[in-house]
Amino acid sequence: MTNPYAPPRAAVQDVADPNAWNVPADRGTRLGATMLDGLIFAGMVYVPILLFLLLGTATRRAEDTGGPIFLLGFVAGLVGFGVWCWFTTNYVKQNGQSIAKRVLGIKVVRTDGTPVSLGRLFWLRNVVNGIVGIVPFYALVDMLFIFGESRQCLHDKIADTIVVKA
């Protein structure tokens, strides 16, 4: 029997926080993603080239130029670069993530929370930033901006992007 004097009861459901998309990624996670992306790129592109170069040098005779082995190393590096480009492009188009960002659970979005386009990531965050990177100490200043309240590096400000938890 229910108490007629008890307050009314209502079923309340949890409502998702509309601002949950903009939880900034930790600085350490961003650094880790940058380092991991570099290691992945090196492993897919530079390691095959170096292995074939070492193999070619070790098996080369004095009269041999080692051309085929070195060419094979170059081709292996190109194949690795192609595979890296394919994975990176697909992940960026799907969710604004590089390979390492996907592994570490962070992604790049526009400052208003909308998904970032592949063109914006490529041209503004990479190409324009690379051109400006010619300026001495720019890379250091770019990295130090992450210690600001918004946790945006200069390349994020150029591209109007932020890195958030996925």
When pLDDT is cut at 50, 70 and 90, the band that residue 66 belongs to is: low
Lowest mean pLDDT among 45-54, 55-64, 155-164: 55-64
Block residue for tokens 């998309």: 21
| Residue 73 and residue 49 in contact, taking contact as beta carbons nearer than 8 Å | yes
Please tell me which residue, 5 or 20, carries the higher pLDDT value: 5
Given a cut of 80, whether residue 19 has pLDDT beyond it is no
Per-residue pLDDT at 15: 65
pLDDT > 70? residue 103: yes
**Domain segments of the chain: what residues?**
24-165
Encode pLDDT of 136-145 as tens digits: 999 999 999 9
| pLDDT score recorded for residue 106 | 96
Enumerate residues 6+ apart whose C-beta is below 8 A from 74. Answer: 49, 52
